Amino acid sequence: MPQIVPKTMGQQFGRRSWAEPWKIKMVEPIHMTTREERERAMAEAGYNTFLLRSQDVYIDLLTDSGTSAMSDRQWSGLMLGDEAYAGSRNFYHMVEAIQEHYGYKYVVPTHQGRGAEHLISQAVIQPGQIVPGNMYFTTTRLHQELAGGKFVDVIIPEAHDPTDLHPFKGNVDLAKLESLIQEVGADKVAYISLAGTVNMAGGQPVSMANVKALKALCDRYGIPVYLDATRMMENAFFIQEREEGYQDKPIAAILKEFCSYTDGAWMSAKKDNLVNIGGWLAVNDQQLFDRLRNMVVVYEGLHTYGGMAGRDMEALAIGIREAVQDDYVRARVGQVRYLGELLMDWDVPIVQPVGGHAIFLDAKRFYPHLPQDLFPAQTLAAELYLDSGVRGMERGIVSAGRDPETGQHRYPALELTRLAIPRRVYTQAHMDVVAESVKAVYDNREQVRGLRMVYEPEYLRFFQARFEPITE
């Protein structure tokens, strides 16, 4: 694979600069707090940014999930909500948009991504089976484990190195996958759990060549490939930017081709379907669909709303059509890259190449004096909030949780603090403020001692764990 040098969006597209293909019609005031107020808020939140109140946050980069700004078209769509219990017209609009742009035959609505993960895991995994995938995601893996499966990471090794410039660090290591299948036997593999814009790897893409070869390999063994379609728009952008033969193809065509190499998908529509709540599950196999459609009424809601209001499904249908526009995706990834370039100019250690939805600060290189047991990435998220009220989140040892068999911490190679950029929400000036704050925290790095965990919940501990600063 060729090594890439990230280019500015201007160079890439032969223009002087890029700008967002929208203007602002309504604004939401935010305010800066004092250092003293932030110290109080952080202590009350147990040094966990998930436990802060959003009113105490200045620039909120906790997540790009459910935090997008909807368009005037989407807000108008809310007024067209058909709130019938069964057969809402908005459901059919949503199904049409999914069929047209993702290409799957059958759609099951869910309240958000993890609702869909629950259904697919319960429907497809037999206890004792393994689920290979291109790096774990927290909720995805937990649902696979709760269904009796075991997630096995088969991402390429470059993904675990934050400095490696491989252009498709989300790719599946096909040789590793094939030897795993041969070792355990194809009947022990429930499905391949493939994700685009791999979240925990730093928002890294999967190439078209890789998904195509993956599908061919799995077809030989009769193993289905299911896609976590969350953030596939950004993945499609990277294919257009970096993969031979895709430069002149629209994002929409790339997305649909990619999905054609998979047997179905689950989706957190709260990301690149540009809505504040919603999700879906889509498959091509009718028998599986019948089963999922039956399960959804038990766990989510009737099969024509799955936990969403009619108006939410209308906004989602419109959001899909807006999100496949090339100029939108270019500006979306361009803003993330803008922030990344500022930090790289100052030699702040981040995951490279810059990914599609967030900047990931490399806490291991940020705080080389802190062992992973002192939660460097959690510490960094807390320090950044204390400096400026910018909220990010930990994606390291806390997020990785404990091994269900041994009960010990899992020690992921990547110890990262994520600054996720909500879609269509912040300006370039906000990114400047964020970069300057990260720089200030970096300059102060030697003063920092780390955290100790004082409360740990059983599931997905990063959401609710509490910490105390180490002072000695």
Site for ligand F0G in 121-150 (CB under 6 A): 137, 139-140
Would you give the binding string for ligand F0G spanning residues 212-231, x where CB under 6 A is met? ----------------x-x-
Question: What is the smallest separation between the CB atom of 214 and ligand F0G, expressed in angstroms?
Answer: 17
Question: What is the smallest separation between the CB atom of 278 and ligand F0G, expressed in angstroms?
Answer: 8
Site for ligand F0G in 262-291 (CB under 6 A): 268, 270, 279
Specify whether 375 is catalytic.
no
Helices marked H in 267-406 = 286-299, 310-323, 326-345, 363-366, 376-388, 397-400
Closer of 174 and 277 to ligand F0G (Cβ)? 277
Closer of 234 and 383 to ligand F0G (Cβ)? 234
Residue tagged active-site, from 56, 64, 228, 362: 228
| CA-closest candidate to residue 64, choices 322, 333, 328, 271 | 271
Closer of 118 and 215 to ligand F0G (Cβ)? 118
What is the spatial distance between Cα 164 and Cα 467, in angstroms, rounded to a whole number?
32
**Which distant-in-sequence residues (6+ apart) come within 8 Å of 69 by Cβ?**
422, 423, 424, 425
| CA-closest candidate to residue 361, choices 296, 419, 284 | 419
| CA-closest candidate to residue 200, choices 135, 250, 246, 144 | 135
Question: What is the smallest separation between the CB atom of 14 and ligand F0G, expressed in angstroms?
Answer: 32
Does 171 engage in binding with ligand F0G (CB under 6 A)? Answer: no
Closer of 120 and 343 to ligand F0G (Cβ)? 120
What b-and-e string marks burial along 221-232, b requiring 16 or more CB atoms within 10 Å of the CB? eebbbbbbbbbb
Residue 37: count other Cβ atoms within 10 Å of its Cβ.
Answer: 12
What is the spatial distance between Cα 27 and Cα 25, in angstroms, rounded to a whole number?
7
Asked if 279 and 112 touch (Cβ cutoff 8 Å), the reply is yes
Specify whether 176 is catalytic.
no
User: Does an H or E element contain 359, and which?
Assistant: strand 358-362
Residue tagged active-site, from 270, 271, 330, 423: 271
Size of the site for ligand F0G (CB under 6 A): 15
Greatest alpha-carbon span in the chain: 62
Asked if 234 and 272 touch (Cβ cutoff 8 Å), the reply is yes
Residue tagged active-site, from 106, 191, 360, 462: 462
Kindly indicate which of the ranges 99-107, 108-116, 118-126, 170-178 contains the residues binding ligand F0G, using the contact rule CB under 6 A: 108-116
CA distances from 123 to 59, 244, 371 (A): 40, 37, 40
| CA-closest candidate to residue 264, choices 152, 144, 148, 108 | 108
Specify whether 271 is catalytic.
yes
Q: Which two tokens stand for residue 34?
A: 């004092």
Does 113 engage in binding with ligand F0G (CB under 6 A)? Answer: yes
Closer of 110 and 372 to ligand F0G (Cβ)? 110
Kindly indicate which of the ranges 7-15, 77-85, 109-117, 212-220 contains the residues binding ligand F0G, using the contact rule CB under 6 A: 109-117
Query: Looking at 101, 114, 293, 423, which residue binds ligand F0G (CB under 6 A)?
Result: 114
Question: What is the smallest separation between the CB atom of 229 and ligand F0G, expressed in angstroms?
Answer: 9
Question: What residue number has its CB nearest to ligand F0G?
Answer: 113
Closer of 210 and 230 to ligand F0G (Cβ)? 230
Specify whether 85 is catalytic.
yes
Site for ligand F0G in 39-98 (CB under 6 A): 63, 65
Q: Which two tokens stand for residue 110?
A: 């869910």
Specify whether 462 is catalytic.
yes
Closer of 374 and 381 to ligand F0G (Cβ)? 381
What is the spatial distance between Cα 32 and Cα 42, in angstroms, rounded to a whole number?
15
Annotated active-site positions, please? Answer: 85, 137-138, 228, 271, 395, 462
Binding positions for ligand F0G, rule: CB under 6 A: 63, 65, 112-114, 137, 139-140, 195, 199, 228, 230, 268, 270, 279
